[in-house]
Structure 1
Amino acid sequence: MRYQHLDLNLLVALDVLLEEQNITRAAGRLHMTQSATSGVLNRLRTYFEDDLLTQVGRKMMPTPLARELQSPVREILFKIQHAIAKRPVDDPATSKRHFRIMASDYVINVMLKDVLRTVHQQAPGITFEFFSPDHQSTGMLNRGELDMMVAPERFMVADQPSELLFEEQFVCVVCENNSEVGHTLTLDDWQRLGHIAVVFGRERQPGLEERLFAESGLNRRLEVVAHSYHSLPLLLLGTTRIATMHRRLAAHYAMLLPLRIFPVPVDLPVMREFIGWHRSLDNDPIFNWLKAAIIDSVT
């Protein structure tokens, strides 16, 4: 389809190119070769009579026009996608909607698994796909590639609506027979013993607790690094190591494994878990039904 001699399919490529600012990564997301992606960029440059992306050292930087185009192009694509995907059905029991949700394994375990059980009973035609949090989450929500994201407050998208779900604290967990820890876990114990921690994705993003410790001026002596909070309890067994994890998740595993739970020996801020969504979904009846089910599950 063309509008004023512009192939509208090129807008999808433009959106990805302006976000990635890298031909190789953009080509991967567009399922195109690097050569074809470079060709698309050249066609866009010709149409807009602007370089759009210019090479500065090893990076590609957007031109002033590209920066002005980025937000409206993304909004146009989202509106088109939402208009095409929208269905007249507003009854959850007969809906065939597919929801894409960004959420950590922690959120899925302590909350969303119960929501999905309820939804399966009341709306069996609704399906789900979960995405792990990463640096692309904000862009995916803005483009409508995610329906919602559930994450700590600091990761919410500034210009999209969000709502507080619950507050959570971090706790320290050790193996039940850890002889290095007595009836209490002291700061000296915490600094002396080895720790197990998590990182996420190829970017090796640390868990939120690592950032909170750093803000408190503390560094853990890491002996094991895993990719999931669910790995931590099992990796503690038979060791003198410490893991820091969410209270709800720790309590779940303490019912299944020989573990002891202690308060973190320093004051850490309470974690506030939010649900965020694109503002265009505000009046979507099926989405609002699902959102209400999620909120009700923690009240």
Structure 2
Amino acid sequence: MDAKKSEAQPRMPPPDAAHLRKLNLNLLYPLDAILRARSLTEAGREVRLSQPAMSHALRRLREHFADDLVVHLGAEQQLTPLGLALRPEVQRVMREVEAAFNFSLAFDPMTTTGAINVATSEAIEQMLLGEVLRNLSTTAPGLTVSILPLDIARPQRALDDGADLLLLPGECALDRLETLPILNDQTSCMIWIGHPTLRDCHDLTEEQYRAARHVVARGELTESFPLDADGAEMLRARRIGIQTSSQATLPAIVIGSDLVATGSMWLFQYYASMMPLKVVTAPFARRQNPIVAQWPKHRRDPMLAWFIDQIRERRREYPRAL
């Protein structure tokens, strides 16, 4: 009998859930401002609250987290360790809240005034986004797109910094995100069509590769090339003649020289379609390197879906690069 009564009684929510329900979620806005601003006054100005109202909000937040969150050392305001840890989490929540309230099933690219942040590498930006971004003036004139740098070893950082979309090698993709394959790439070499010794080659031998002078982009990550152990060793042993500032300057440096560049077959074929350059097969075991688009699972955003479709259309314009 007692057991039956016990089963029929409503279950109490866990203490944490009950505690959260007592918290006014409007405090998210002052919390976000406090964790980003240089002073409480500046934070209040950002969310349009008076000094007493901000002080009251900070007091409630301190009670909730059992932490000061911010401390004042003279004229400077500093975050506590918990405050520092909270800042990216609160910013992520604020982006999700904004996305939820701005969500609409109706999307017209010609009238939208939205914004998209894309995090990717320089090479992928050039080969996939250039034409898409140039066409926005006619396809979506009110859409704002910002390109953020991507550390492929730590792609989560880009999401913490506000990225809506990641474009990256499949082997660097994050497990918990929506993932869409865009294209398959592989590692190739690029030379000037008038290269003094290799101009008639279509495939480089290991001997030719090791004997050549090479050009690399500063910050190039050899780990991003899809290679086996032998290929990785060959890459590390290259005789580097020039280190340039970025991927974009590789064509201008390779043209008229004896240099060999190693990188994306897709990107190099794009360069070769416009300039006196030639793509040759690298002496590595061939491995496909899928490039994927990733975005948070909660984003059911027709604007983002439209933008991804533009990228896929761009990829279909260069099928020979696959």
Alignment TM-score, normalising by the size of structure 1: 0.70
Q: How big is each residue's C-alpha offset from its partner over 1:71-91, in whole Å with a ceiling of 9 and x where there is no partner?
A: 964653333232454468522
* Matched ranges for 1:117-156 at <5 A: 117-134=134-151, 137-142=155-160, 145-156=162-173
3-state SS, counterpart of residue 92 of structure 1: coil
Contact 1:198 / 1:207 at 8 angstroms: preserved in 2?
A: no
Residue 98 (1) aligns with residue 115 (2): yes
Q: 1:119 to 1:251 in 2, by over 3 A?
A: same
Alignment-derived partner of residue 221 in structure 2: 206
Tell me how far apart the structure 2 counterparts of residues 209 and 92 of structure 1 sit (CA, whole Å). Answer: 34
Summarize deviations over 1:225-257 as a string: whole Å, max 9, x none.
Answer: 223222112212333221012223222322443
Verify: 1:228 aligned to 2:246, yes or no.
yes
Q: Which amino acid aligns with 2:221?
A: P
Task: Give per-residue Cα distances to partners, 1:116-152, cap 9 Å, x unaligned.
Answer: 3554433322222222323675233256x12212111
Query: Alpha-carbon deviations, 1:17-54, whole Å to 9, x = none?
Result: xxxxxxxxxxxxx4749xx9xxxxx99888634699xx
Residue 107 of structure 1 and its aligned partner are, at CA, apart by 2.8
Query: Among residues 84, 96, 120, which one is paired with 1:79 in the alignment?
Result: 96
Q: Which amino acid aligns with 1:10?
A: L
1:56 paired residue number: none
In 2, Cα distance between equivalents of 1:126 and 1:5? 29
Distance change >3 Å, CA 7–CA 246, structure 1 → 2? closer
Q: Describe the superposition over 1:256-278 as per-residue Cα deviations: whole angstroms up to 9, x where unpaired.
A: 43333210111142111101112
**In the superposition, relative to structure 1, how do residues 4 and 153 fare at CA in structure 2: closer, same or farther (>3 Å)?**
closer
Judge conservation of contact 2:177–2:294 (CA < 8 Å) in 1: yes
- Distance in 1 separating the partners of 2:149 and 2:250: 18
Distance (Å, rounded) in 1 between the aligned partners of 2:28 and 2:164 = 27
**Distance change in 2, residues 1:6/1:125 (3 Å):** closer
Q: What is the CA-CA distance between 1:195 and the residue it aligns to?
A: 1.2
Match of 2:31 in 1: 10
Letter in 1 for 2:122: D
**How many angstroms apart in 2 are the aligned matches of 1:74 and 1:290?**
23
Deviation at 1:174, TM superposition (A): 1.9
- Asked if structure 2 preserves the Cα contact closer than 8 Å seen for 1:12 and 1:77, the reply is no
Verify: 1:277 aligned to 2:298, yes or no: no
Q: Distance in 1 between matches of 2:233 and 2:128?
A: 32
Distance (Å, rounded) in 1 between the aligned partners of 2:282 and 2:111: 47
Q: Which of 259, 264, 285 is the equivalent residue of 1:246?
A: 264
Out of 187, 190, 196, the residue aligned to residue 170 of structure 1 is 187
Equivalent residue letter for 1:179: P
The structure with the largest alpha-carbon Rg is 2
Compared CA separation, residues 294 and 252, structure 1 to 2 (3 A): closer
2: CA distance between counterparts of 1:78 and 1:238? 48
Q: Residues 4 and 209 from structure 1, CA distance in 2 versus in 1: closer, same or farther, beyond 3 angstroms?
A: closer
1:89 and 1:95 in contact (8 A); partners too: no
Per-residue Cα deviation, 1:139-167 (whole angstroms, up to 9, x for no partner) = 33256x12212111133232111110010
Q: Partners in 2 of 1:4 and 1:89 — Cα distance? A: 28
CA distance, structure 2, for counterparts of residue 297 and residue 237 of structure 1:
26
The amino acid that maps onto 1:233 is: P
Any conservation in 1 of the 2:215–2:260 contact (CA below 8 Å)?
yes
Distance 2:158 2:101 in 1: 18
Does the 8 Å CA contact 1:153/1:273 hold for their aligned counterparts?
yes
CA contact under 8 A between 1:115 and 1:297: conserved in structure 2?
Answer: yes
Against the structure 1 CA distance between its residues 12 and 117, is the aligned structure 2 distance closer, same or farther, given a 3 Å change threshold? same
- List runs of 5+ in structure 2 lacking aligned partners: 1-22, 43-57, 70-80, 317-322
Aligned mates of 1:5, 1:277 — CA distance in 2: 27
Letter in 2 for 1:141: L
Question: What residue is the counterpart of 1:109 in the other structure?
Answer: 126
2:210 and 2:239 in contact (8 A); partners too: yes
Provide, for residues 178-209 of structure 1, a one-character-per-residue CA deviation record: whole Å limited to 9, x for no partner.
3333534210111122211123xxxx352555
**Normalised by the size of structure 2, how large is the TM-score?**
0.65
Query: What is the match of residue 48 of structure 1?
Result: 65
How far is the alpha carbon of 1:173 from its aligned partner?
1.5
The letter of the residue matching 2:233 is G
Contact in 2 for aligned 1:6/1:47 (Cα 8 Å): no
Q: Helix, strand or coil for the counterpart of 1:269?
A: coil
* Corresponding pairs, count: 263
Matched, 1:217 2:245: no
Kindly indicate whether residue 209 of structure 2 is the aligned counterpart of residue 190 of structure 1: yes
